[in-house]
Each structure stands twice: as C-alpha cells, then as structure tokens.
Structure 1
Amino acid sequence: MPLYIYSDMANILDPMDLKQIITLHLDGTSNRRIGSILGISRNTVNTYMQLFAASGISLEELLVFENADLSELFSSHTTVDTERHNELMLYFEGVNQARNHPGFTFLHHYQQYVEQAQEPYSYTQFLEHYRRKYPKEKGSMKLDHLAGEEMFVDFAGKKLHIINKGTGELIAVEVFVAILPCSQYTYVRACMSQKRSDLISCCTETLRFYGGAPKAIISDNLRSAVNRASKYEADINRSFKDFARHYNCVINPTRGYSPQDKALVENAVHLVYQRIYYPLREMTFFSLEDLNKEISILLKSYNNLLFKRKESSRIELFQSIERQYLKELPAQSYELKDYKRAKVQKMGYVYFSPDNSYYSVPHRYIGKETSIHYTQSRIEVFYNQERIALHQRNLTRGSYNTNKDHLSSTHRFYSDWSPEFFSKKAALHGEHVLKCVEKIVTSQDYPEIGYKRALGVIQLYRAYGSQRLNDACKRALDTDACSYSCIKNILKNNMDKVPLADGQPEQAQPHIPFHSNIRGASAYQ
C-alpha cells in the first residue's frame, strides 16, 4: 500500500533524492542539516523520515530498493493549495517593501491579510512562510568544516597546454581542483574538457586519491553537473547523481551569486596557480599523461608544505584527522552511464544506436517505450523505472545479442538458426538446393534475413516436390538469380521443366536476362 505525503509545501522528491536523505540520515546527519545539504525544507525531510518509519521497512533495506518500487511505496501525492499559497506570496511582496518603515509590525499586516484572504493562514504559518521567502541576511563568518563532511570541486579559470607532436599545435587543457575543507588536502588533475565524462572521471580519480568518499560533493553550477541552476534547489544531471549514489554520497551545488559558498576552493585554485602553474611555465608537454605526472610531483610537495600558523601540513592533517571519517570506496570504480530511449521492436529487440546493434528484452514488452542505461561494459534496459534486461555490451557493430529466456515459445525455434542448421535441411532436397541455400545465407550482412529467405526456398518443396525444387535451384545458379522470389517464379512458370541445350550455357539462351517480373509463355496459355 503506497504511503502518501501530506505537506504544506509542494516539494515532491524523486527516488534518487529519497535515497540521498536515507544515506545522510544513516551517516548520523540531522534532519536540519540534511535539508541544508540537499536544498529542501526541514519539514519535508521530517515528513519523509516519518513515512520511512511508518513503512515498517528498515532504512538499509529501503536504500537497496529499485527506484520504481521506492516511487510506488512513497507516492508523490500532495495536498498543497497552490492558489492559496500564491496569494500569500504576492501579498508578501508589499509587506517586504514596507519592512524598513518605522512602526512596522507583522501583526498589522497579518490583520490586513486576514481581511482580504478567502482562506487565510494562521499567524504562525504566516510568519513561517515569510521567513522562508525572505530569510535573514547573515554577515560573513568563518565556517567550521567537519572532517569527512564535504569535498569542494571546481575547474581553474586559467588553462594549461600540451603540444601536438605531429602538427606542433598548442592544445589548451582544463585543470580540475578538489579540496577537503577540514584538512585542505588538495587534488589537481588536467583533463581535455569540462564535459560530463571528464568531470566524473576527475571526481572518480579524486576519491581514489583520497582513499574514501565524503558525505557531500560541493560543485559549482557547471553545465556538466547541473541541468538547471538555482539558488535554492538545483537540478543535478542524472549521470552525476548516479555517480554520487555509487559512492554513497550526495551532490550539493553552490548557490548562484553566492561567492562565499565556494571561497575555499577558489582560494585553492589561486594557490594552485602559484605552486603548480608557475613551476610548469617553462616546461613542454606532448601528452596529458606526461602533464599529469609532473602535476602529481608538484602536488605532493604542495600538500607537504607546513601551514604558516599551524605546525602541520595538509597531508598530516588529512592523515591524522580527516581520513578516518571518509566512507569506504566500493570494490569497483564508477563507470559513466549514458542514456538512450528505444521502442521494443516486433522481433523482441531494442535498437542501440551508438553501436548499431540489438539487444533482446522479454517478449511481453514488444511495442513498449524503454530507456537504455549503458556503460562501456554493460547494457541495462528499463521500463517504468524497472530493469527488464541486462546484457554485456557487445561492441561489434550490427550484432544481435539474445538472452533465450526473453524469447516466447514461438521465437525459441528461431534462436537455433545457424548456417549449419539450414545446410542440413537443404541437403535433404538435393545438391543444387544446398548450394543455393548456402549462397543466400552468406550473401546477407544481417544473417537473420538470409535465414528467413533460405527457409522460404526450402519450404517450396511442399508445393513442388524435392526434385523440381532441385532443378529450379540448378537453373537459378546457372543464371545467377539465386533468390527466393526467382526460384519461386521458376517453379510457378514451369521453367524448371524446360531442357537446357547441350553444351550451351544457360546465360546464352535468351537475349533478355531472366527476371522475376518477366512472364513466360505459360502465362498466356
């Protein structure tokens, strides 16, 4: 039975967000802190935690639920009155403009609001909604960072360069910077672009460098990380979310127009310019690997430098304080996922366009629209957020990849098709039938097409007998017209009964080449 969400705020979360709430809660994070990290209200977090408890299922079990099952269990139903809420938000605009007037009181404006509203909120709710819409501005302050809590990532504004050995072209490369704010332990890596694949690859290498994962990754609002930037609730792209889920952490982009959110990583970038860029200024590199090798040498020295006001270095603070609070990494590194949509074809396969190949799904999904999640090593097919097929990725272009369990009883017969299968069947009707079938099967790029045509040729014996079929196939081979339609027309027009002139090749008999559209004399009797 689904559990419904009744809330005074229309904040509907998808299954991946629910799993982020569970992950942070299991790490001992308070509901208020979870709301702050994920950019949602504390009340929403409280509501979901109550629903989790009411379900009678442990948080650890909920964490391994399929997205579809989690979505069905915690149905996204809300009782918010949008019109009533919007009316209050519009009224607040006038209230806020009068905020600095002498003698201003919320009670005065609340009384005016009650007189004009059809269904006014209570005074307590009135104040709560106002504070949510217009939170108090806080002055700058030094932030205390907890060990293992966060990791800041960003790309440096200035680029480094490598040289193409063949052309001498100077190629600009991006520089990725990550920092653990508690110990300020830093990681730097050069990559070819700021695209999603490079960002996730750099984050993967960063976690391997640290030997653990933080609770949250704080990124700038990069296009490779965020689909839609927002000061309060950014829309993170699904690949980056999936990456975070793999490492049991969450993504929390910085707020737009809030430089204090990323001051630490920007200061780290400035120091990278001094400690890494400057020593590299007169060096020449012909590959990204060579550049990263030199960066790692300089980075080691940088992390070993003593802080001016502390009697320790970044690496010492990391090893003594922060390392123990990082989460263990999974056994396998994350593989970047991409996504495609595909309709299940009548033969029970989905077409995978990147490789021009086909993968089977259970036959009951024929005609359904599916989502393909793929990595370099595997293909997953989902229908309504439920995985219905899993295959090892076959990089051979045009390949058909079949799981026999997906086939209906009718289709299982076709799965046994092979050149040997048809050769055995054709040999029963004569040597010319065998040669003709072998030629048909080997002439097609896609074997299943050849198999169907070969089966059609063999089945002609039912109507005309094996001897006539063998003679017709001989005539088709002699005229180089070896196809199902030509052999069928030879038999239909009784051309297999016309004797060939001795010692004269068939090709020399008519002055017009044989074609299936040309009718013989028997058609006019």
Structure 2
Amino acid sequence: MPKQQLSLRMIKDVLRLKWHAQLSHEQVAATLKISKGVVAKYIGLATAAGLDWGTVQDWSEQQLWTALQPRSAASLPIVVPDWGRIHRELDRKGVTLMLLWQEYVQAHPQGRTWRYTQFCEHYKAFAATLKRSMRQHRRAGEKMFVDYAGSTVALSDGARAQVFVSAMAASSCVFACATPTQRLDDWIEGMVRALHFYGGAPALIIPDNATTVISSADRYEPRANDTVQDFARYYGTSVLPARPRSPKDKATAESSVQVVGRWVLARLRHHRFDTVAQVDAAIAKLLPSVNERPFQKLPGSRASVFAELDAPALLPLPPQRYELARFKTVKVHIDHHIEVDGHRYSVPHALVGQTLEARLTKRGVELLLRGQRVAAHVRSDRRGGYTTVEAHMPAAHRAHLEWTPQRLIEWGQQIGMACGELITRLLQTYKHPEHGYRSCLGLLSLSRRYGRERLEAACERALALGTVRYRHVRDLLANNRDLIAQEKPAEWTSPAHANVRGPDYYQ
C-alpha cells in the first residue's frame, strides 16, 4: 500500500514542535505518532526552502504546500544574456557565437541557461531588431570608410566649404573636417587627418568611386591612382573602393554622413564663416558631442566602443605625416639628367636612355627604377637650372669638376713660382677661364716627361720672352732651350752725339 501522506495541518505541527517547542526528532515523532524519517523529511524541505517558524506560523495551508514543493531545474527562470554586449563582442577578431555561448554557460553554473541552438536563435532575433537588413560583421580595426558629405557650408565670399567624413566600421566613430574642394589633394589630406585623429591605421580604407581617387572604377578589379597607392603603402594599409552605384557597400559611411549632417552641419546653419579654416574649427568643436552621444539600443557610445574595440587593433602610425606625392614618367637624357618642371636632376650615368618614374613631393624629387630608388634630390623651382650629384657622373666628368682656376694655379705653384705665374697669366688671356683648362693641364703634364725643374726653367724663359702659350713652353723643352743659361742684358748707356745735350745742359 502506498504511504499515507501527512496532512498540511500535521506538517505544520511538525514544524511547530521542532522549531517553536525545540523538541528533538524522536520527541516530535513520538508526540505525533509518526516515524523519525518523516519528521526529518519535512524539516529538511522547510530548511531548504529557507523557512522558519516565525515565517510559516501565519501561512495558509496552500502557502505552506507551495513552499515545501521541491524545485526542479525546469522551474527556474532562464538567465538572459546581455545581448548588447554579445553584439559588440562579435566585432572582435576571432570571437564567435560558440565561444560566447560557452562563456555564458560557465558564468551561470547554478542557473538555467539556453542550449547553443536556442542561444543563436535568440541572438538573431535581437540583431533583427537593430536594423532590418543584412548584418555585416565589422572586425575591430579592420575598415575605415571615407566619403564627402553632400551638404556643404557657405562662405561669405560665395564659395562653399566641402565636408570630408570618415567612420570606423566596428565602432562607427566619426571624424569630419572641412576642405576647399574635393580634389586629390583634399582627399589625401582628409584621410591623413582621419588616421591621425584615430591614432592608427586600419587594414583597409574604403572610399567612394570618385574619379580623383580611383583611376579605374572597374566593378570587379578597381584600381586606385598612383598617389593614393603611395599613401596606402606609407601607412601600411590598403585602399579598396566600393562598387559603383552600390551604397550598401559603404553603409557605415552613408550613415555617418547623415549623422554629421544632422548633429554638426545643422547646428552651424546660422553661423557665418569667412574661411574654410573657420568651418573646420567649428566642426572640430562639435565632433566630441557626436562620438560621446550614447547609443539608443546598445550600451556605450561611439567613443567608448572605439577605445574598447578599434583603437587596440589599429596599426601604428609612422613618426611623420604623409606628404602628398605625384608621379610622372621621365626619360634620362644623354647628359644623365631628367627634367621636371623645367629643372634638371641627375641620375647615375649608367641609366642614360632608361625610362624612370619620378615621385614628386612639395620639397623633394625621388627617381625610381622598377620601384627601387636610384636618386633623390631637393626640389628646385629654378627653371633651366641643374641639380647634379658628383657620384652620378662618369669618372672623367668628375675629374673635370676638379678643374678650377684656383686649383690649377695651386698645382702650378707646387712646381715653381714661374709655373704658377704662367698659368695665372694664361687663364687671364681667355674671356672665360674654362677655355684655358686644357692648355693648363697640358702644361702641367710636361712635368711627367721632362721633370719639375726643367718645366720651371722653361716657364721662366717663356715669361722672359713674353709668351704664355703651351706650345711655346713645349718647344722650349723639346729644343733644350731651358738648359741654356739666360744672358743678363747689359745696361744701356747713351752714345756721344752732337744732338744729345746731356744732363749738364739743364743745370
């Protein structure tokens, strides 16, 4: 026969005698004519439910029955995860729903949790409430979207300031600045300022298909122009334009442009600006209020999520900012120089006839052969001028550079004073000293054949004869005239003659 169940009145008497009368299990069992095991059972249930006599003495029998029922795991409430945190954690590199589910279960070992399938279904339902479109997972520090806002700011002179906007993919942290136009210089300046605003470079920059940035707007194989690629190489990133006429590819940029328009440009509509710099300063003051504004459905703000997700994942920036560079194809002339804006720059003489790529910045000219730098110069705006590095010249040309009037005279003076004097007079006979370089070198070379002493003597005789020509000195040495002692001319005396009055006549 099944055991007879105690009435609720009897159960309440068990609790009263045990807790209020302070009787032992055996005394309670003897008083109520029940076994000690039954007493232990109901005392145990009441203790597990956290009850005491002060609590239950005024309860109804139904309340006591409900409290004493053993609670199964199925009756426990489900521990609901923080879906906003789950949504943000998925933006981290390598984080998956499986990993987040395992952490969720481990964090609540005594609670009732969802299995993995239910966990995923509830997350998808939460994500669908954020935006009814395809969910694009943005990895932290992976992408930066850039674009120009359609709205502009009027200036007092009738011109309009353009507004450059960028946004990080994972955090949607916004940067904006004003530029005079939307030319290539302004695109590059905007992207450089954006990277330094964020304090790092993402792995990928996604611009619009602007013709100033993209040289080939192919749907499947787009290509940025040389300047943009040079900018990307400098910062260790890459540029991949969005597909033509596909705004969903850069939805973050589109929404950020809308945010800047509503929360920045709309607030400036009553302001009057004279210059682009004033517009830029006004935008900079309003940016913190945009990035620090709390999200509506997710925890945190753009600034806090950027600091948590994007900032640690960004690539470090170079010590100096990028300087805008343009590229030009040039050919090396026969004089081992190339021409840029009317000025000529030297390259190694072995590259004569080669086609090079010139990388032109505001202050420098860099010459590249198959991507390798072969020469670099400080840029000059002097048209018709030359910038030449001696190391680029052939050996014979470098030697020619050493032929200066002063150096030739010093070489002659090392042989003797007469030789130095003859070279000085020889150079003075020409309108341009360089015309006499070869004659001087020929003269100096005679010392190797005839010796220094004979050359010095020949120069003395040439000066006495009133000539400074190289061939005259050469002939003197060839005919050994330098070996003949020079005769000192006798002092001249006036001859006796009737027409010569003499000094006594004037006294």
Cα distance in structure 2, aligned partners of 1:311 and 1:399: 64
Cα distance in structure 1, aligned partners of 2:404 and 2:427: 17
Q: Does 1:364 align with 2:350?
A: yes
Cα distance in structure 1, aligned partners of 2:269 and 2:221: 40
- CA deviation after TM superposition for structure 1 residue 430, in Å: 6.2
Match of 1:269 among 257, 280, 283: 257
**What does the per-residue CA deviation read over 1:346-365, in whole Å, with 9 as the maximum and x for residues that have no partner?**
22211222xx3222211111
The AA in structure 1 aligned to 2:428 is L
Cα distance in structure 1, aligned partners of 2:355 and 2:245: 40
The AA in structure 1 aligned to 2:159 is I
TM-score by length of 1: 0.54
The AA in structure 1 aligned to 2:148 is F
Determine if contact 2:403/2:437 at 8 Å carries over to the other structure: no
Determine if contact 2:219/2:244 at 8 Å carries over to the other structure: yes
Q: Does 1:341 align with 2:334?
A: no
- CA deviation after TM superposition for structure 1 residue 461, in Å: 10
Determine if contact 1:422/1:454 at 8 Å carries over to the other structure: no
Determine if contact 2:227/2:326 at 8 Å carries over to the other structure: yes
Determine if contact 1:303/1:314 at 8 Å carries over to the other structure: yes
For residue 221 of structure 1, what is the aligned residue in structure 2? 209
- CA deviation after TM superposition for structure 1 residue 421, in Å: 5.6
**What does the per-residue CA deviation read over 1:209-244, in whole Å, with 9 as the maximum and x for residues that have no partner?**
000111100111011211111222112112111111
Cα distance in structure 1, aligned partners of 2:389 and 2:268: 54
For residue 156 of structure 1, what is the aligned residue in structure 2? 149
Match of 2:369 among 383, 392, 395: 383
The AA in structure 2 aligned to 1:237 is N
**What does the per-residue CA deviation read over 1:477-501, in whole Å, with 9 as the maximum and x for residues that have no partner?**
xxxxxxxxxxxxxxxxxxxxxxxxx
The AA in structure 2 aligned to 1:434 is Q
Cα distance in structure 1, aligned partners of 2:281 and 2:381: 31
For residue 428 of structure 2, what is the aligned residue in structure 1? 434
Any idea what SS the aligned residue of 1:250 has? coil
- CA deviation after TM superposition for structure 1 residue 433, in Å: 5.4
For residue 75 of structure 2, what is the aligned residue in structure 1? none
Cα distance in structure 1, aligned partners of 2:405 and 2:352: 27
- Cα 1:419–1:401 change in 2 (3 A) is farther
Match of 2:243 among 226, 245, 255: 255
For residue 393 of structure 1, what is the aligned residue in structure 2? 379
Contiguous gaps of at least 5 residues in structure 2: 1-92, 95-131, 413-419, 445-461, 470-507
- Cα 1:182–1:201 change in 2 (3 A) is same
**What does the per-residue CA deviation read over 1:46-87, in whole Å, with 9 as the maximum and x for residues that have no partner?**
xxxxxxxxxxxxxxxxxxxxxxxxxxxxxxxxxxxxxxxxxx
Determine if contact 2:247/2:254 at 8 Å carries over to the other structure: no
Determine if contact 1:427/1:433 at 8 Å carries over to the other structure: no
- CA deviation after TM superposition for structure 1 residue 198, in Å: 1.3
For residue 297 of structure 1, what is the aligned residue in structure 2? 285
Match of 2:313 among 311, 319, 325: 325
- CA deviation after TM superposition for structure 1 residue 414, in Å: 3.0
Determine if contact 1:461/1:469 at 8 Å carries over to the other structure: no
**What does the per-residue CA deviation read over 1:431-478, in whole Å, with 9 as the maximum and x for residues that have no partner?**
6953864xx58xxxxxxxxx5x6758989999xx996789xxxxxxxx
The AA in structure 2 aligned to 1:160 is V
- Cα 1:382–1:428 change in 2 (3 A) is farther
Determine if contact 1:378/1:391 at 8 Å carries over to the other structure: yes
- Cα 1:264–1:227 change in 2 (3 A) is same
For residue 280 of structure 1, what is the aligned residue in structure 2? 268
**What does the per-residue CA deviation read over 1:270-321, in whole Å, with 9 as the maximum and x for residues that have no partner?**
1211111122112222222222111100112111111122342211111122
Cα distance in structure 1, aligned partners of 2:239 and 2:144: 10
- CA deviation after TM superposition for structure 1 residue 146, in Å: 1.4
- Cα 1:247–1:376 change in 2 (3 A) is same
- CA deviation after TM superposition for structure 1 residue 142, in Å: 2.2
Larger Rg: 2
The AA in structure 2 aligned to 1:270 is Q
- Cα 1:457–1:156 change in 2 (3 A) is farther
Cα distance in structure 1, aligned partners of 2:275 and 2:403: 49
Determine if contact 1:427/1:434 at 8 Å carries over to the other structure: no
For residue 211 of structure 1, what is the aligned residue in structure 2? 199
Determine if contact 1:306/1:312 at 8 Å carries over to the other structure: yes
- Cα 1:455–1:206 change in 2 (3 A) is same
The AA in structure 1 aligned to 2:254 is E
The AA in structure 2 aligned to 1:248 is G
The AA in structure 1 aligned to 2:305 is L
Cα distance in structure 2, aligned partners of 1:210 and 1:216: 14
Any idea what SS the aligned residue of 2:159 has? strand
Correspondences of 1:87-486 after superposition (within 5 Å): 140-163=133-156, 169-353=157-341, 356-416=342-402, 428=422, 434=428, 437=431, 440=432, 451=434, 455=437
Cα distance in structure 2, aligned partners of 1:330 and 1:240: 17
Determine if contact 2:213/2:225 at 8 Å carries over to the other structure: yes
- Cα 1:423–1:175 change in 2 (3 A) is farther
**What does the per-residue CA deviation read over 1:374-432, in whole Å, with 9 as the maximum and x for residues that have no partner?**
22233222234333222333455444222222221111023335675689899745669
For residue 124 of structure 1, what is the aligned residue in structure 2? none
Any idea what SS the aligned residue of 2:306 has? helix
- Larger deviation: 214-223 or 263-272? 263-272
Cα distance in structure 1, aligned partners of 2:141 and 2:147: 18
Any idea what SS the aligned residue of 2:155 has? strand
Cα distance in structure 2, aligned partners of 1:367 and 1:303: 56
The AA in structure 2 aligned to 1:412 is R
- CA deviation after TM superposition for structure 1 residue 204, in Å: 0.6
Determine if contact 2:422/2:468 at 8 Å carries over to the other structure: no
Q: Identity of counterpart residues, as a percentage? A: 30
